[in-house]
């Protein structure tokens, strides 16, 4: 049990620091100091800093993507039984809503969402590489479902629109955890939606319309 506590403490510390500093600017000394652990413990549990990052992503993305796939498969099965195409809104809910549930129910969820929102802009490829290892199979499953739901869209247009959806999801998640966005909104005197459920509903409805444009 003590070893598991040490392992989780290291991952929690890595998440918190990388959410603020990014992967490249977070040292192992900073992580072990915050976790009150030593480098030998990191080597024992993870083998290296990259191994630790892989474990950090495994811990969050495996249950998140498992829930996504459960919701996707449920909608696809329902569509088959009812003799219809998959519902676009339900596909988007399967893709997006587990993020909201994760944010609201998971301790440290805000830190991980900050890391998620930085993945594609980070100059270091380490986190992105392990993130894509988890996400490519999920993306392909959803791409196939959206092809069935939107058969008149060419594959390149559909892929572009799904990437637009994912980008808007990353931005919406960032709104929930990034105080800089709140500051900008205040300076512009433009109110920013901060209710997670309301924001998620707006995100889904916005993307339904975007996917359906002929």
Domain ranges, ordered by start, for the chain: 57-212
Amino acid 23: pLDDT? 87
Q: What is the pTM of this model?
A: 0.85
Cα separation of 82 and 5, whole Å?
48
Cα separation of 173 and 166, whole Å?
11
Amino acid 1: pLDDT? 44
pLDDT tens string, the chain, 214 residues long: the values are: 456 689 999 999 999 999 888 888 899 999 999 999 999 999 999 999 999 999 999 999 999 999 999 999 999 999 999 999 999 999 999 999 998 777 776 667 778 888 877 776 666 788 889 999 999 999 999 999 999 999 999 999 999 999 999 989 888 877 776 655 556 566 666 666 667 788 889 999 999 999 998 7
Q: pLDDT tens digits for 143-163?
A: 999 999 999 999 999 999 999
Dihedral sign of CA atoms 11, 14, 17, 23 in order: negative
Cα separation of 1 and 123, whole Å?
37
DSSP codes of every residue in the chain: -HHHHHHHHHHHHHHHHHHHH-STT--HHHHHHHHT--HHHHHHHTSSHHHHHHHHHHHHHHHHHHHHHHHHHHHHHHHHHHTSPPPHHHHHHHHHHHHHHHHHHSTTHHHHHHHHHHTTT-S-SHHHHHHHHHHHHHHHHHHHHHHHH-TTS-HHHHHHHHHHHHHHHHHHHHHHH-HHHHHHHHHHT------HHHHHHHHHHHHHHHHH--
* Token duo for residue 187: 């300076």
């Amino acid at each position: 049990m003590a070893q598991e506590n040490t392992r989780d403490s290291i991952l929690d510390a890595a998440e918190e620091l990388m959410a603020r500093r990014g992967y490249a600017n977070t040292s192992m000394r900073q992580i072990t100091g915050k976790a009150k652990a030593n480098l030998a413990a990191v080597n024992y549990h993870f083998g290296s800093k990259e191994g630790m990052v892989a474990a950090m992503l495994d811990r969050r993305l495996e249950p998140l993507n498992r829930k996504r796939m459960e919701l996707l498969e449920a909608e696809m099965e329902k569509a088959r039984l009812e003799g219809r195409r998959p519902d676009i809104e339900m596909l988007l809910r399967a893709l997006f809503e587990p993020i909201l549930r994760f944010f609201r129910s998971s301790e440290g969820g805000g830190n991980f969402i900050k890391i998620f929102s930085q993945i594609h802009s980070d100059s270091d490829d380490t986190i992105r590489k392990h993130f894509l290892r988890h996400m490519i199979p999920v993306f392909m499953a959803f791409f196939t479902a959206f092809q069935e739901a939107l058969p008149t869209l060419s594959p390149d247009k559909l892929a572009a629109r799904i990437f637009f959806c994912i980008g808007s999801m990353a931005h919406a998640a960032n709104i929930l955890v990034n105080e800089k966005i709140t500051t900008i909104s205040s300076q512009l005197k433009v109110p920013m939606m901060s209710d997670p459920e309301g924001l998620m509903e707006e995100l889904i409805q916005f993307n339904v319309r975007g996917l359906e444009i002929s």
